[in-house]
């Protein structure tokens, strides 16, 4: 998985666009309610936010294909993310 910090766009390792991350509420991950190991619940909008740290490209593409509005969390220091400019 790749992310372009300037635009917050996520791509697969092969360069396929997945999603542009945008949250107008700016809720912090730590402030969300735990929902197992892979996701949390946003208390502002009650949506599930999926942690991409344990997901591969196929999982993320499938997730967004099923629900284009699905919320994702990406941390720059997680092992499976590469930064592109």
Partner 1 sequence: MLFKRLLEIFSANAQSKTKKGQLSCIECNFIYDNTLDECPDCKYMKILTDKSFDEMNNGLRVIRTIRGETAINVAKEMGLKLIELRAEVSDEFNVKYKKVKDKLTGKIVTLGDFREDHYFRKSRYKTIVDWTSRNPSKFFSPFAAYIVPKDLKSGERVLINDVITNHVSGRWNQGDVYRLSKSEAIWTGRYFDIDVSSYAIGEFIG
Q: Is 11 helix (H, G, I), strand (E, B) or coil?
A: strand
Binding of partner 1 by 27 (CB under 8 A): yes
- Considering just the CA atoms, what is the radius of gyration of the chain in Å? 12
Residue with tokens 């360069």: 15
Binding of partner 1 by 75 (CB under 8 A): yes
d(CA 39, CA 35): 5
Binding of partner 1 by 41 (CB under 8 A): no
Binding of partner 1 by 77 (CB under 8 A): yes
Binding of partner 1 by 74 (CB under 8 A): yes
- Of the candidate residues 24, 46, 58, 66, the single one contacting partner 1 (CB under 8 A): 24
Q: How far is the CB of 59 from partner 1 (least distance, A)?
A: 17
71 and 23 in contact (C-beta within 8 Å)?
yes
């Amino acid at each position: 998985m790749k992310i372009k910090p300037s635009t917050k766009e996520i791509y697969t390792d092969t360069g396929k666009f997945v999603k542009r991350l945008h949250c107008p509420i700016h809720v912090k991950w730590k402030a969300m309610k735990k929902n197992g190991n892979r996701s949390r619940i946003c208390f502002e909008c009650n949506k599930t936010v999926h942690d991409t740290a344990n997901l591969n490209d196929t999982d993320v593409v499938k997730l967004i294909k099923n629900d284009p509005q699905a919320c994702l969390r990406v941390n720059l220091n997680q092992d499976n993310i590469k930064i592109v400019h």
